[in-house]
Amino acid sequence: MGAFLRIYERYKSDVLTLAAALLGHRDGAEDVLHDVFVSLAEGLPRRQPPVNLKGYLLTSAANRVRDTYRRARREPGALDEAVPVADPKADDPAALVAEGERARHLWNSVLSLPEEQRDVVAFKIYGGLTFKEVAERTRAPMNTVQSRYRYALEKLRQMLQQENVQ
Amino acid sequence: MSDLERLEQELQALRLTPSKSTDARIVTSASRALAQAAESGVTSLSPGKAEMRLHLRRRVLVAAAIAAFLLVLVSLVVQPWPTKKVVERMSAFSLLSQAWAAEGPLFTGGGVVSIEREIIVTAVSDPDLARMRWLPIMAMEASGTPRVHQLTLPAKPDEQYTVRDQTWYEPATGRFVRLLTTQEKPIFANSYDGRSVYSLESDPSGALRPVGRPVAETFRAPTSPAELLGMSAGLSDLLKRKDEGLVLLPGEVILSDGSRARVVKAGFPPAGPGESDSYWLFRIRVKDDLVAEMEWMAAGESVLVVRRVGTKKVEVPKVGWDLAGVELPAPKVEKRPTPAVTPDMVVSNVSVARMVEKADFETYILAANPSWTSRREITDILDIVSPPHRMFAITYLADDGRHVVLVQSPSYNTGLGPFSKQGNLVYTSPTGVKVWSGPRDKWLAGILLQSARAVIKVSPAEDRTGYLLETPAGTFPALAINGQVTEAELHSLVDSLIPAREYQEGGPGAEPAPKP
């Protein structure tokens, strides 16, 4: 059980974030997280985890989203709580609060992206895939994938600017 | 940094954290799944948990020894460098053959070919598995003869490390360097600079030094460098074994670099439910037919991965063709197990005298070749499970296909001994050699005969027979016959077994004493 807990603690955030970004919602993402890790636990006594464990878990999560959860996907709803992994200004309470709010806003902006753009951002940023791999996954030409990524970043930048203005 | 680049960084830093209730739900479900899986594994074995673990460990040892035996014997066929065969497509056999053939062109063209691979010693929990990992490694002698060494890759339980395997080859001249390092420290090197063959050898202080030997007049650079320097060097006989030992697994897998691959499993099925399985998985990339990864599985765990990193053209190798420039740190006593190279995994066709001299246990041999056989060949092999002890396989080649294989080793003596009591005593020879027969006879015979394929040249027969022997010296040789034998023939075989030392000292058919 110790080995499983170490794996879970290390990768749970990566898997949850990718699933949520692909689904556009956190509730379903936690179900994906549950299924991915319980499936891993079922196999652990019989075989060693793959060498590229993170890649294996993220691919499992993406496959589960595609095969099961997207059919019942809901529209983005309540605000999600996203926090930076590492906070270099943790000793500055004012900066911490500001970054937390900005992170939450950025995350919810990601969830509000059109599905095609969100998929590209999810696979590229949280799945660690190259543009070529994203193109294969989403069955879209690589140029289209690159354009979608560029549009998505531009849209996110505008959303953040609007928030700052408000 | 532009706004968009900064935004990308911010996005990369975002991570969600599961709620505490989700954490608890997953840990509970996983705990239940782990317990159920473990329980299902235990109930299929017998009898008590402690005894089951002991049996399982022995099975692991035996499976590894058997896999080792298979692999070292198949490597024998690299003498001399083999030629490729054209085979039919769409099978595991042809897929491996294609992969082998695809490696040849890597060693062609102008300039110097630089090939890099990595050997990943994965984290495993079983201390026996962690300790006993190894790979065959090919080297060339100044005489031009290839030698098979053993690269031992031990680790502590749950420890993982990587060995960097670099090769440079100049097609125009046949010059080559192969260098294995871990944490920048060399553990093996073999090279040819056009005049001499070099290797790293230990001096009396234990320090590694490059030693060069001028090549013999008969020396020829390898015509098939992939067989010396390629990913599957030492495993080429797998490509000649079109039988149940190779399975093309259905579907495709995605490799860590995102490319698609087909998977071929090479090994033996376990003896029965609950038995350890030990096999290799070859992942063959679809786009270029090259073996991208080889993974050794044992007892359900991944114990070793060999991965192709890349191939490129360079002007000169990173180190000299004469190994100049290889950084050689001062020797120091390591507290942890470290990779090392043990020479001569396999020496074929040795004399009885050499067997007696090298064995550190009482070896046995048939006083006379069985009446249906015409020739005997003894192979001296490193006992992988307990190096530097040696394992000996005595093969009697039969005209009617009923070849006889007798294998003896310290690891068989300790690993197979306990299994004998699970069978029935079917015969005791006048000299006290006991013959045990049990449910694993046919499986064991298949392993022994498959392993001797390099000598007997045929597949194990469906009606093969096998027995575990127990000698008065307390050793447990394993005997296989590639077909049926009558009771009288079996008794004749066993009655004929005598200590090899006695045979050498003047028994029937004794060989001349070795020259001092």
Q: Which residue reads 């003869």 in tokens?
A: B145
Output DSSP code: residue B82.
P
B15, B22, B129, B158, best to mutate vs chain A, most A CBs in 10 Å:
B15
pLDDT at residue A98 greater than cutoff 60: no
Domain boundaries, chain A: 2-72, 93-165
Beta strands in B332-389 (DSSP E): 340-342, 346-350, 364-366, 373-382
The answer to whether residues B383 and B336 belong to one domain is no
> The domain containing residue B458 runs over which residues?
346-504
Last residue of a domain, one of B317, B342, B367: B342
The answer to whether residues B310 and B377 belong to one domain is no
Mean pLDDT of all residues belonging to chain B: 79
CA distance A131 to A129: 7
What's the total number of domains in chain B?
A: 2
Contact B125 A103 (CB under 8 A): no
- ipTM score of complex: 0.81
Residues counted in chain B: 516
Query: In this predicted structure, what is the pLDDT of residue B276?
Result: 54
A80 pLDDT band, cuts 50/70/90, is very low
pLDDT at residue A137 greater than cutoff 50: yes
Answer for the pair B259, B292: CB distance below 8 angstroms, yes or no.
Answer: yes
User: By CA distance, what is A36's nearest residue in B?
Assistant: B26
The 3-state secondary structure of B203-220, one letter per residue = CCCCCEEEEEEECCCCCC
Per-position pLDDT tens, chain B of length 516: 688 888 888 888 888 888 888 888 888 888 887 777 655 442 222 223 333 333 444 444 444 444 554 444 443 333 333 333 323 224 666 777 778 778 888 999 889 999 999 999 988 877 777 877 888 788 888 888 778 788 888 888 888 899 999 999 999 999 999 999 998 889 999 999 999 999 998 877 778 889 999 998 888 887 778 878 888 776 555 445 445 456 777 778 888 788 899 888 876 555 555 555 677 888 999 999 999 998 888 777 788 899 999 999 999 999 999 999 888 776 665 556 677 777 777 777 889 999 999 999 999 999 989 999 989 999 888 887 677 788 899 999 998 899 999 999 888 888 777 667 777 888 888 888 999 988 778 878 887 887 777 788 777 888 999 999 999 999 999 999 999 999 889 999 999 999 999 888 765 545 554 443
Rounded to two decimals, what is the model's pTM?
0.55
CA distance B411 to B93: 31
Q: Which two tokens stand for residue B411?
A: 């690891």
Say which CATH topology domain A2-72 has. Answer: Rna Polymerase Sigma Factor; Chain: A (1.10.1740)
Q: Which two tokens stand for residue A100?
A: 């937390």
A33, A40, A51, A87, best to mutate vs chain B, most B CBs in 10 Å:
A51
Any CB–CB contact under 8 A between B302 and chain A? yes
Residues in B touching A82 (Cβ below 8 Å):
14-16
DSSP for A24-35 reads T-HHHHHHHHHH
Any CB–CB contact under 8 A between A16 and chain B? yes
Q: B391 in a domain, yes or no?
A: yes
Residue A8: its H or E element? helix A2-23
- Once rounded to an integer, what is the mean pLDDT over residues A158-164? 81
- Once rounded to an integer, what is the mean pLDDT over residues A89-111? 64
The answer to whether residues B446 and B325 belong to one domain is no
| Upstream peptide bond of B80 is cis (omega within 30 degrees of 0) | yes
Beta strands in chain A (DSSP E): 82-84
The answer to whether residues B364 and B334 belong to one domain is no
Any CB–CB contact under 8 A between A10 and chain B? no
The answer to whether residues B280 and B421 belong to one domain is no
CATH number for B103:
2.50.20.10
The answer to whether residues B289 and B389 belong to one domain is no
Contact A156 B18 (CB under 8 A): no
Output DSSP code: residue B389.
S
The answer to whether residues B217 and B119 belong to one domain is yes
Contact B22 A46 (CB under 8 A): no
Any CB–CB contact under 8 A between B1 and chain A? no
Greater confidence (A102 vs B192) lies with B192
Answer for the pair B180, B188: CB distance below 8 angstroms, yes or no.
Answer: yes
A10, A26, A30, best to mutate vs chain B, most B CBs in 10 Å:
A30
The Cα of B134 is separated from the nearest Cα of chain A by a number of Å equal to: 18
The answer to whether residues B296 and B236 belong to one domain is yes
CA distance B358 to B379: 12
Cross-strand pairs, B341: B151
The answer to whether residues B283 and B358 belong to one domain is no
The answer to whether residues B190 and B285 belong to one domain is yes
Q: Which residue reads 């936690």 in tokens?
A: A30
Residue B28: its H or E element? helix B20-43
In the three-class reduction of DSSP (H, G, I as helix; E, B as strand; rest coil), residue B233 is classed as: coil
Answer for the pair B8, A125: CB distance below 8 angstroms, yes or no.
Answer: yes
Answer for the pair B363, B351: CB distance below 8 angstroms, yes or no.
Answer: no
Query: In this predicted structure, what is the pLDDT of residue B37?
Result: 61
Query: In this predicted structure, what is the pLDDT of residue B55?
Result: 40
The answer to whether residues B159 and B214 belong to one domain is yes
Contact B17 A55 (CB under 8 A): no
Secondary-structure class of domain A93-165 per CATH:
mainly alpha
Last residue of a domain, one of B342, B366, B393: B342
